[in-house]
Structures are given as structure tokens and as C-alpha cells.
Amino acid sequence: MELNSLIQRRLEELEKLQEMNIQPYAYEFDVTNNSAEIKSDFEKFEQKDVKIAGRIMAIRRMGKASFTHIQDETGKIQVYLRKDEIGEEAYAAFKLMDIGDIVGVEGFVFKTRTEEISVHAKSFALLAKSIRPIPITKETVDEEGNKVLHDQFADKELRYRQRYVDLIVNPEVKEVFVLRSKIISAIRRFLDEKNLLEVETPVLQPIYGGAAARPFETHHNALDMKLYLRIADELYLKRLIVGGFNGVYEISKDFRNEGMDKNHNPEFTMLELYVAYKDYNWMMEFVEEMFEHVARAVFGKTEFEIEGRTVDFGKKWNRISMVDEIKTKTGVDVLSASADELREVVKSKGEELTGGESKGKLIDLLFELSVESGLSEPTFIVDYPLELSPLAKKHRSREGLVERFEGFVMGREICNAFSELNDPIDQKERFSSQSKMRDEGDDEAHQIDEDYIRALEFGMPPTAGLGVGIDRLVMLFTNQPSIRDVILFPLMRPEK
RNA sequence: GGGCGCGUAGCUCAGUGGUAGAGCAUCUGCCUUUUAAGCAGAGGGUCGAUGGUUCAAGCCCAUCCGCGCUCACCA
């Protein structure tokens, strides 16, 4: 049947209900219990009165009695209604109910002949009429006791565009977002206990910085000025370290005007944190502790099955030197090699190059080609080429490197950290060379932030900094294949 | 941006050039412990869009739109 006529029919039912003096959009309902607690503690509830509310997900009418399943926030429960008990009028009204309607039920808890825990209705109330049909999914149980879904609402486009429908009919989706919320609060609790201060820094920035990425641009009318949506929080948070906070963090959206795929959404959630008087060695242990804390607090365990492999966050992470590992895998000493020599090696790996790549970029490529995909265990890649890291401090003992690490799990980058560069003279030089790269056409090179230099000139203590992509972290812990599966409303092209 | 694939009823899908289909959902009737409830009947379509080939297009061709997977770009 055509959608409009399905809606039309429900609108007619709505009118009929109004003629029966039933208000189809109620103001409140006194809910006393939810489906999960009734089912998990049946002995306590048996024969006791409860008031539950939720969405009708299935109706089975059998003349003068009916069964319906209603779904609340915690799950589904069956309701049994009899004409001789709820009355002629109420039963007539129930006949006008549809799948999707939101109702409240008062009744007592019992088990049917087939042992299903149910609510035997004494009365029911329509709380909100649904006039648009929801996708119908049905569930059976196979011989081995597994749930089998029929006609599942599966169109990914519709699921992302109409997430509200996805959440109604695909309960495992709701699970993921509940876990996401719990993961983020576990992180907050951990950081608060470590005496870090949660702060908020500008989303709208006149100069963007803190990462290599293209920004979104916007315009402020009153000041008639161009503004950028932040690509990172980094430079503002470090200004706060200059200002005398010993530890700060921010969990917030960043925006990058770049491609979209299963690891990238234009807006995404970042955790950044900075701690004074610490370095990147300290930060590695901090990361290990934080991941273990989240694993235990949210999941009560440290071992996870991810893509068929076991990952244990209860153990120390591997630590691998970036340049040493490249040398082990390829025999190339990237520090002594010239850019041209590296270019040849990368080409021999079958990579196509444009010819304009910097030495740092080539090292990064070589690393990706020879090492990165093999990193399934939690691993810190340590000590990056200076060219790739304009905000990180030079390595205390190794020429050409900075004190930086990235954490990888299952071959995916999950965090990025360094001993923060606090030498204003050095920082100025790094910005200058970034500026040269911009002039040479690298539109992702950093802008010069004079005010940030000024802040460093006042003096910033030695500081360790960390960035964690929260969406990717959630993907990891919930075993979801795409970033769109951990973002409630991922960016989509407009409809039509 | 490249490659591959998909787009048919509200949902899940079949339909390989000759009268648009199935299950669920919807509607009518029967049915007081059912459960993918059952039985009997009925309605429901711009086959993503536009153009082309053909006597004839859901099907073949082209272009466009949207989505998915993948590669590239990108932390």
C-alpha cells in the first residue's frame, strides 16, 4: 500500500479515537517499572501491579483477547488484554492501535502457558499515536536458541538518515551508543581523579592550528571577519598551561574539511589533555592506565575479541622506534638517507609519487607501507621525524627526531602524543618552515600563530600532551567497522 | 576523485526484452493464553531520474542523482 494511504488510514483512526473522547497525545503517564526489571526479577513481580509504557512493536488479535509486545528503553515485554476485563469501549479503542503507537499499561505480572513473562492488562492508555508506519521486523528462535531476525531494517542510508527509526527497530544500535556514553564518562572520571581540569576553548578561531588539516571556514558578521572551525584544541590548551594550570583536558568536536570514509567524519570527537612537568615517557604509562581503566570500568574486563584477535589492555603496550623498525623491516636508515633515496625505496614498494613529497612525508609513507598494518597488539610507535611534528619537542638524544608517539591498536591509530615544544625560538622556526611549505602549495601546513609564540615567550613548563580520537576508540571497544556506526547522526548529503 | 556494486510496494527481497510479483505490514470477516499466531478474502507500484535502442524496456545503452564497498587523499 502506498505510504500516503497508510498515513491517511492512521489519521482516520486518530479522528475515530477523538470521537471516542480519547486524547491521542497524552500529557503524562505514571510509569512505575520497566520491562527489563520485571523480566529479570519475575518472582518479585508475579501477580503484582505494574505500570509500564512503551511503543507497540507487535499485535496479535484473537477476537475478544489480544497480545501485544511493547518496547521501552530497556527492552520488550508482552501485554495480554481481554475484552471482558478492560471493557467494551477500551477494547474497541485498542482495536484502533497500530504498531508504532506509544501506550501505557497498568496490570499485573504473570506467565503465559508458554512461560512468557507478560503483563495482564487492567487498563491501557494511548500516550502518542504514530501516524507513520515503522519498518516491521520479526524475530524467531532457531533450533540452537539463537535469535533470527526477519525483514530487518537494513538499508544503511535510511538507517543513518533516520537514526530514530534505526534506534527503535535495531536494539544493538542503541547498545553501541549507550556504551559510547559510558566510555566517555569513564574517561572523564579517570581524568578528574587525576586532578586534570576540564575546560572549554574556542570552536571559532581566527587562526586554526594544532594539526595538519584543511579547515571549515565561516564568517562573523559583526566583526566582519573570517573564522575557522577548529581542527584541534592544542594551541589553546597549551596557552592554559602557560597560564598556570598544571593539567587540563577537553573533550569536544573538531572539524576537518576533508574526505569521508569509515575512519573519517567531518566533525568528530577529540580528547586532548596536557600535563605540566611531564614528558612523553610519562604519557605512555598514562595512556596504558587510562585504557585499562576504561576497559575495566565499562566492560569489566581487559581482553577483547576484535576482528577475530584478542587484544589485552591489561598489559604494557609494545614500544617500537619508528626509524629503527623501518630499518629492521626494510634495511633503510631513513635518518641518513637522502630524500631522493627514500623516494626510490617508496616507489619500489609500488607507491605512486607526485615528486613533491618532503623527506618526513616519505618516511611516513615508508612506515605505513612496511610496518603499520602489522600492528595488531596495542603498540606505541615512538620518535617521529622532526618534519612531521612542528609542535613536538626535539628528541633529547637522537638527531632529526622529536619526542612523539602514536598508539596503534589493530593497525588503527588511536592516539597521538608528544613532549610539547616549549622553546619559543624553536617553535618560531618550525612555524617558519611550515609557512614555507604552505607557500610551496601544502595547504595543510600550519599557519603561523603569533599569539601562541607570544604565550611561549612568557614561558611554558615542560609539558606532555595527548590527543585521542574518541570515535575510533569507541569503534575499537564496541567492535564497529565504521565511524558512522558510532556517530548518532553522521554527515550525509541532503535528501533529494 | 578512481574502480566495483546496489536503487522494484511502508519493510525485506524475487523478477536476465513480451500483461509488475512474494512474505511481512495494511484493510474486511472469524477467533478469550497467542508469539514470524492462524484461517478466508481485498487493496496497495512514476520499477531512483532523464534520454536513447527496439514493434515492445524493470531488464539493453548513455547521462545524472543517491547509497554501499574498496583504493587514493586524509590522522
Which residues in range 281-340 of chain A are in contact with strand B, contact meaning CB within 7 A of any of its atoms? none
Phi-psi region of A363 (alpha: psi -120 to 50; beta: other; left: phi over 0): alpha
Distance A135 CA to B59 C1' (A): 28
- The amino acid present at A82, given as its one-letter code, is R
Which residues in range 434-473 of chain A are in contact with strand B, contact meaning CB within 7 A of any of its atoms? 444, 469
Q: Is the CB of A406 under 7 A from strand B?
A: yes
**A200 neighbors A240 (Cβ within 8 angstroms):** no
CA geometry: angle A281, A282, A288, nearest 5 deg: 95
Among A225, A236, A238, smallest CA distance to A203 is for A236
Q: Is the CB of A151 under 7 A from strand B?
A: yes
Q: Is the CB of A30 under 7 A from strand B?
A: no
Phi-psi region of A162 (alpha: psi -120 to 50; beta: other; left: phi over 0): beta
Q: Is the CB of A88 under 7 A from strand B?
A: no
Among A410, A322, A412, A319, smallest CA distance to A366 is for A322
Distance A230 CA to B65 C1' (A): 32
**Residue A366: predicted pLDDT:** 83
Q: Which residues contact A227 (CB under 8 A, 6 or more apart)?
A: A204, A205, A206, A217, A218, A219, A220
**Residue A203: predicted pLDDT:** 94
The ipTM assigned to this model is 0.88
Phi, then psi, of A141 in degrees rounded to 5: -120, 130
Q: How far apart are CA A379 and CA A316, in angstroms?
A: 9
Nucleotide with the nearest C1' to A149 CA: B36
Say if residue A35 is exposed, middle or buried (CB neighbours under 10 Å; 0-12, 13-18, 19+). Answer: buried
Distance A8 CA to B41 C1' (A): 23
Q: Is the CB of A39 under 7 A from strand B?
A: no
**Residue A353: predicted pLDDT:** 66
Nucleotides of B under 7 A from a protein CB: 1, 9-13, 23-27, 30-38, 43-46, 65-75
Phi, then psi, of A356 in degrees rounded to 5: -95, 5
Residue tagged 601562541 (cell numbers)? A452
**Residue A496: predicted pLDDT:** 57
β-strand partners of A59:
A68
pTM higher than 0.95, yes or no?
A: no
**Residue A375: predicted pLDDT:** 78
Q: Which residues contact A361 (CB under 8 A, 6 or more apart)?
A: A387, A388
pLDDT less than 50: residues of chain A: none
Nucleotide with the nearest C1' to A62 CA: B31
Distance A156 CA to B62 C1' (A): 28
Which residues in range 170-199 of chain A are in contact with strand B, contact meaning CB within 7 A of any of its atoms? none
Which residues in range 192-231 of chain A are in contact with strand B, contact meaning CB within 7 A of any of its atoms? 211-213
